[in-house]
Structure 1
Amino acid sequence: MASGVGSSVLVTGANRGIGLELVTQLAESTNPPKLIFAGCREPERAKDLQELSQRHPQMVIIVPLDVSDAASVSAACQVVSTRLGDAGLNLLVNNAAVNRPIPGSLAQTGADDMMEVYRTNVVGPMLLTKELMPQLQRAAAQDSESGLSCRKAAIINISTLISSIEKCYESFGMAPMYPYRTSKVALNMLTRCLSEDLCKDGILVTAIHPGWVQTDMGGSQAPLPTKDSVRGMLGVMSSLTEQHRGTLLDWKGNSIPW
């Protein structure tokens, strides 16, 4: 499965939950990438990620990264670029996200909440993409394969079903989440814009909904184990082509309406 995502991957928010499981399954697959960069805001507190890196010291590289801080993004991308050299980056997974306040009703939500969530969930992926563009372009140029794929060069933005404007009426009552919902709608538009802008460079851009997952953010009532979600998403990533650029898919590969 991992062979379908190229030889170099950067995953943000890799200290726990979906991000940690993505790094774990990639590293422990039968045909893993050569380099997996695990972006983490506080590496010293990421015990499970540190243990994983110790088991795969030449493969899993922990990179201090706070996607809400432009200086941190720039420093992290410099670390990644230096380590990659001329090889280029095959896959960027923008997974890091925040959700506050909980549950995020209109009465609870203030301006600072909206801006903080937007800065992490939308501005962070935009800045990372911008900083890593030369590495993604280099990877795409070195691959003779026609079309678009995660083996060549791709950006996967982790979005959500509750970003769907069309389906909002189905889930709003149980999850108002004003800051989170609106930030992910903006992330979807970022995905579509980037897909139009970067296809000329051979870079695929797609958004994926991981499902309602048993993580700190998803909560204990979530029906989907993290391992199953990530296994499904990696399968979807490995099968993406140019027909999927600028779309929102779920962890099984089904299309979600905007």
Structure 2
Amino acid sequence: MAMASRICNSVLVTGSNRGIGLELVCQLAGSPSPPTLIFAGCRDPAGPRAQELRVLAQKHKDVITIIQLDTSSPDSISQAAKIVGSKLKDGSLNLIINNAGVNVHLELSNTGDKEMVDTYRTNVVGPMFVAKDFLPYLRMAASQAADQTSMSCRRAAVINVSTLVSSIQKCPETFAMAPMYAYRISKAALNMLTKCLAEDFKKDGILVMAIHPGWVRTDMGGQEVIDSVKGMLKVISSLTEEDSGTLLDWEGNGIPW
């Protein structure tokens, strides 16, 4: 993967045991100038679904630290923040990629109270608590950055993984191919969270944006995941203040709310 310079010194990736999250950790660790610290958050670090992540972490044991982090549990997020904080040498964390999420492929007739609430908890409340509990470390990174005049991932940023089907404006053209109520609605709410955080964190010099990784079968590996993550990291590494509060796709194109 070609990145001209180090994307950041320290990064947290949630939902890192498979799909896009695993590939993000893999490409970050394998880059010519990897971050000094990569925190790979996943729900069950010792379980069978984290086997590939454990192998990857062992290969890059000086860089990757696996953190137990269940984004549907505020207590788990709070505990993860304390653990990460204890491992940060100067108390600063440059980048959070809120990748953990659930995609419920249910039409209206099959969508009940539980599906709506569970999806919202993971896709909206989880990223909100991650941003809230890790904010002191982002603030520290932003305040210690050599460049105090601009925003970037090298300074401090929160990236929320969203989707094209979160777009209310695009709904008429995308609904037939993906009539998923819980997922669409939760990701539209994630977009509003992104805008709120972008406004709130602006005073601290922390960039916040959302990114659509493309149509990737996230439970599968393979070339499409590799290409998507390459694109995502290229976009993330070149973000500026103008991109804060926006939704972009993995090629850097804007998506309307």
**What range is the shorter-chain TM-score in?**
over 0.9
* Aligned with 1:69 (options 69, 73, 85): 73
Structure 1 residues 190 and 224, CA gap change in structure 2 (3 angstroms): farther
After superposition, the Cα gap between the structure-2 partners of 1:87 and 1:78, relative to the gap in structure 1 and judged at 3 Å, is closer
In structure 1, the residue matched to 2:8 is 6
How far apart are residue 230 of structure 1 and its match?
Answer: 0.2
1:107-133 alpha-carbon deviations (Å, 9 max, x no partner): 000011000000000000000110001
Tell me what 1:121 maps to. 123
Could you report, residue by residue, the CA deviation over 1:162-221 in whole angstroms, capped at 9, with x for unpaired residues? 0000111111112111000000000000000000010110100010000001322xx79x
Partner of residue 241, structure 1: 240
Which deviates the most, 2-11 or 163-172? 2-11
3-state SS of 2:177 partner: coil
- SS of the aligned residue for 1:225 comes to helix
Pairs aligned (count): 252
RMSD: 1.5
Is 2:152 the partner of 1:149?
A: yes
Q: 1:244 is aligned with what amino acid? A: D
8 Å contact kept, 1:4–1:237: no
Equivalence map 1:166-245=2 (5 Å): 166-216=169-219, 225-245=224-244
Sequence identity percentage: 59
Match of 2:132 in 1: 130
| 2:181 counterpart letter in structure 1 | Y
- Asked whether 1:55 is paired with 2:59, we answer yes
Q: 2:4 & 2:36 partners in 1: Cα distance?
A: 11
Distance 1:179 1:228 in 2: 27
Q: Is the 8 A contact 1:118 1:179 kept in 2?
A: yes
Partner residue, 1:96 = 100
Consecutive unaligned residues of structure 2, counting only runs of 5 or more, are none
Deviations 1:28-69 (A, max 9, x none): 000000000000101112110000000111110000010000
- Assess if the C-alpha contact under 8 Å between 1:38 and 1:60 holds in 2: yes
* Alpha-carbon distance in structure 2 between the residues aligned to 1:137 and 1:3: 22
SS at match of 2:34: coil
Give the structure-2-normalised TM-score.
Answer: 0.95
Q: Using the alignment, how far apart are the partners of 2:145 and 2:154 within structure 1?
A: 9
Runs of 4+ in 1 over 2 A off after TM superposition: 2-5
Shift in alpha-carbon separation, 1:74–1:2, aligned structure 2, 3 A: farther
Q: 2:19 aligns with which of 17, 20, 34?
A: 17
**Alpha-carbon contact 1:209-1:249 (below 8 Å) kept:** yes
SS in 2 for 1:212: coil
Aligned partner of residue 170 in structure 1, secondary structure = helix
Instruction: Assess if the C-alpha contact under 8 Å between 2:194 and 2:208 holds in 1.
Output: yes
Letter in 2 for 1:151: R
Matched residue SS, 2:110: coil
Report the CA distance between 1:99 and its aligned residue. Answer: 1.7
Give deviations 1:133-185, integer Å, cap 9, x for gaps: 10000000000212100010000000000000011111111211100000000
Find the residue that maps to 2:251 and give its secondary structure: coil
Matched, 1:257 2:249: no
Distance 1:2 1:233 in 2: 15
Alpha-carbon distance in structure 2 between the residues aligned to 1:214 and 1:65: 23
In the TM superposition, what is the alpha-carbon distance from 1:85 to its structure 2 partner? 3.6
d(CA) in 1 for partners of 2:237 and 2:209?
12
2:7–2:34 CA contact under 8 A, matched in 1: no
**Greater mean alpha carbon deviation, residues 79-88 or residues 49-58:** 79-88
Q: Note if contact 1:211-1:224 (Cα within 8 Å) is conserved in structure 2.
A: no
